[in-house]
Structure 1
Amino acid sequence: MKNNLDHIRDIAEIRSMMERSSKFMSLSGWAGILAGTYALIGAYIAVKVYNFNPVTVSEATENSGSTGLVQLIILALAVLIMASGTAIFFSYKRAVQRGEKAWNATARRLLSNMAVPLVSGVVLLIFLLTNGLLGLLAPFTLIFYGLALYNAGTFTYKEVKILGLVQLSLGLISTWLISYAIILWAMGFGLAHIIYGIYMHNRYER
């Protein structure tokens, strides 16, 4: 009986080692919580300060001049930089705690699979901006980000894939409900990230 338990324990350890070598397990729930918080603050500023209020595909703001667009782009970049920086910081910190390298072959595979939909999305967003189709910005950021997360879920926790499907679904819904696009964007990038972060922290980090 004791030998059987030892074999089961050995198999579990081998499986754990194989999982660590094939999947990026250093994602932090706190990164999701803070990214969601940044997104909610960014959405509030966009609506209340910069009057970004999508109504139709081509009529997205009360003040959609070049100055207003520059301010929105700066705001979006600030949210992106803070969210990315937070994710990198907590991933590195967690990798150190686990005795692993944060930048390894698995991390490179994860990022390369995220890069395809993200780069495609950036190219399309530039097209939307230059053609005044501002009402589609929020839906398409959700869609391409959701696709990136879904791809990334193959190389990390399965919950990332689920989060990707949530973002993708909200993005597709918002293409039909442009007047609610900002609310749906805040739900996806803000609320969904916070819920995901709390769940991940409680399940994997406590």
Structure 2
Amino acid sequence: MENLSVALFFGIFAVVNAAVNLREPSRNVIDVGGRGTLDKVKVIGHMKSGRCLIIENGKRQGETREHQLVLWKCHDERIKGLEQEMFSLVKSNRGGYLLMGNAGSLDKCVGADMGYNDHVVVRPCNPDKESMSWVFRRVDLSSNAYQLVQMSTGRCMRAPGLHDGAWVRVGDCDLSDERQLWQICGLDGTCDF
């Protein structure tokens, strides 16, 4: 059943992705100015659940709050535009990549809280901050599974646990932890990094 849900997720991704490419592919490539060099635009999906990483907009029903990184149903109709779940991978000045959001989260990047806790933060992008730099470590050649390793802490991004709601966390890297396995797919429909 789990394999079926993952296959269904990436099948839906390929169809929606093809539609985006046919419609207007260039609109997803953004000008990152002095923040670094745009290298790739990717959708990051959790292997086991088939859900997508999304930077949740800071505005909800007229309120202003901080952006948050969540794991959510891919292509949810309540999310305005497919770009909400796309990340521009920008080469940082510290090695690795900045995970820059698109659409309503433009100019916001994913980082890890510098204390030894499991919090993931979304802040204005800074290519000089190691806390915002991530390395994609391939762990399974047969399924293109990756761990997302945060450079300043050496910890890995993980899907939410039972008590985390939808919020994504970091934790000590563990290859046996299915919450830490991700698939990164590009706008061309391939999942090769």
* TM-score, length of structure 2 as denominator length: 0.28
The structure with the largest strand share of the pair is: 2
Greater Rg by CA:
1
- The higher-RCO structure (CA 8 Å, 6+ apart) is 1
The structure with the largest helix share of the pair is: 1
